[in-house]
Amino acid sequence: MAQILVVDDEVGIRDLLSEILADEGHQVLLAESASEARRLRESHRPDLVLLDIWMPDTDGISLLKEWAASGQLGMPVVMMSGHGTIETAVEATRIGALDYLEKPIALQRLLATVKRALRNHEAVVPRELSLATLGRSPALTETRKRLAQLAQAGAPLMLRGERGMRPELFARLLAAAGAPFVEGPEMLTEASSVMLTRAAGGVLFVGDLSLLGRAEQKNLEFLLARSEKHKARVVSFSPIDARALIDKHEFDAGMLARLSELVLKLPALRDFAEDVPDLAALLLVQLVETRACPPRRFSVAALNALRHHLWPGNLAELDSVVKNLALGALEEDIDLSDVERVLAAHAGSSPPEIALDRPYREAREAFERLYFEHLLVRENGSMSKVAEHSGLERTHLYRKLKALGLPVGRREES
């Protein structure tokens, strides 16, 4: 027995489908509008949705797009319409619908479609986190545009940025829809032509270069030398510059030159903080959809608090915080007190080390950035409290943060 959600504004259609499906042994949920469908989909997580296209509040195509963009297509969806066109059916399947039923719906066609959809239910999994639909902030919008432009080139690309950035999310934007994206440690432990064949027409992504040992570097050199022949593009990431990779990690200078034919600097999460609420919501949906946690949702105040956090650990820290909130919240709604509790626990973690072999000016700047990041996180962005603790006059503090590339916090009065 499966749980099937029928969404249609015509009571006659709802009753007829409910009777047919119930006779087949299924449990049926009924919704007459998109708003009711959202509520039932969130509270019950049905195994299948039969979704009408024409509804009074929000049309079915828009609702399907909404579920797809928010990572909530963890179940098959079959569209229904009595006024559909081939173009509508094609658009629906492109967005993520499994099939399209034209009204009046033939009984045998309905039952066959439901059977096929439920048979494929196990293969339907929530989408992985993607940056493709995000871009409220100028920093992320610009980065996506540059990646779209660089996707047209075939030369190796090195992404640069801070640790914790989850660079694979950016690298995935370089692969065309349906093209292979190959990553993982096995790629460099067993480098072979088979791996290149798997990546043909797509992307071979190599994570943090500074973590590769000599054997892995040799295997990367093997893949790089043969990638063009297999039409596989090599994309890598490094949190440190090429000179440090050569001096401290014994990289071959020639190979690094080939890896960095093109270079793109990734923004830190604090640079696209406007996108943090959407990112946090998507991460939470993934956890709920995979049943890693009970149903959860963020309050507006909780999302605002996440938005104003500085995220020194970048996307990896955001991922960790959302998991802590999803698993540790006592209520279905994650509120401000939950966020403050988890962020306070993270702020108590050991700060990253500063490389002491840098020139004095660079080491001092690194310390100052770390120092003010710590204060801003601890004081939840309160500029008056940061100024008081650091002993700096407010105007001087603003100038210092700007020089260090740090965002200013809340400008409330003491």
Whether 355 is covered by a domain: the verdict is no
Whether 308 is covered by a domain: the verdict is yes
pLDDT, averaged in runs of 10, over the chain (414 residues): 93 94 95 93 89 89 87 87 78 87 92 89 62 88 95 94 94 90 80 82 93 90 91 94 91 95 95 94 86 88 92 93 94 94 76 62 79 74 83 86 72 48
Query: Are 257 and 284 in the same domain?
Result: no
Query: Are 201 and 315 in the same domain?
Result: no
Q: Given this model, what pLDDT does residue 174 score?
A: 94
Whether 238 is covered by a domain: the verdict is yes
Query: Are 167 and 230 in the same domain?
Result: yes
Q: Which of 347, 363, 391 is the last residue of a domain?
A: 347
Query: Are 259 and 292 in the same domain?
Result: no
Query: Are 10 and 111 in the same domain?
Result: yes
Query: Are 66 and 106 in the same domain?
Result: yes
Q: Given this model, what pLDDT does residue 92 score?
A: 87
Give pTM, 2 decimals: 0.66
How many domains, in total, are found in the chain? 3
Query: Are 282 and 247 in the same domain?
Result: no
Q: What is the CATH number of the domain that holds 163?
A: 3.40.50.300
Q: Given this model, what pLDDT does residue 235 score?
A: 96
Query: Are 215 and 280 in the same domain?
Result: no
Whether 312 is covered by a domain: the verdict is yes
Whether 387 is covered by a domain: the verdict is no
Whether 352 is covered by a domain: the verdict is no
Which structural domain, as residue segments, surrounds residue 312? 269-347
3-state SS, one letter per residue, for the chain = CCEEEEECCCHHHHHHHHHHHHHCCCEEEEECCHHHHHHHHHHHCCCEEEEECCCCCCCHHHHHHHHHHCCCCCCCEEEEECCCCHHHHHHHHHHCCCEEEECCCCHHHHHHHHHHHHHCHHHCCCCCCCCCCCCCCHHHHHHHHHHHHHCCCCCCEEEECCCCCCHHHHHHHHCCCCCCEECCCHHHHCCCHHHHHHCCCCEEEEEEHHHCCHHHHHHHHHHHHHHCCCCCEEEEEECCCHHHHHHHHCCCHHHHHHHCCEEEECCCHHHHHHHHHHHHHHHHHHHHHCCCCCCCEECHHHHHHHHHCCCCCHHHHHHHHHHHHHHHCCCCEECHHHHHHHHHHHHCCCCCCCCCCCCHHHHHHHHHHHHHHHHHHHCCCEHHHHHHHHCCCHHHHHHHHHHCCCCCCECCCC
Whether 73 is covered by a domain: the verdict is yes
Query: Are 98 and 23 in the same domain?
Result: yes
